[in-house]
Amino acid sequence: MEPLGNTTHDSKTLGLNRNRGAVIELRLRTDWYDGWRDYKTVRKTLCHELAHIVWDDHGREFWDLTSITTYFPPPAPSILGFRLGWKVLMLDRW
């Protein structure tokens, strides 16, 4: 996402999820185009947008899922590929 069109004096949009994950846009550049956003901010924004695939509004379940995905470490590689990671926790929802 380009910073100029997504920044106002009131807010700053860092990510956007369209059609339940068909398209996820993230702002990787800083507001002044002088560099890149730090990894933690981009990862937190991505986890927020991924949670919108399961929950549309910002209710309790949404924030619980965002919290799990943000602070749960990424899956570790194994001999057979990658573990399922946080999806195991959401099987009853899917």
Q: Is the dihedral of CA 79, 85, 91, 94 positive or negative?
A: negative
Q: What is the pTM of this model?
A: 0.68
Q: Is 49 one of the annotated active-site residues of the chain? A: yes
Cβ-in-10-Å burial (0-12, 13-18, 19+) of 11 comes to exposed
Catalytic residue among 2, 25, 49, 61: 49
Is the pLDDT at 50 greater than 80? The verdict is yes
Is the pLDDT at 75 greater than 70? The verdict is no
* Alpha-carbon gap, residue 26 to 17, rounded angstroms: 9
Tokens of 25: 């846009």
Q: Give the start-end residues of each E strand in 19-67.
A: 23-26
Share of the chain above pLDDT 70, in %: 65
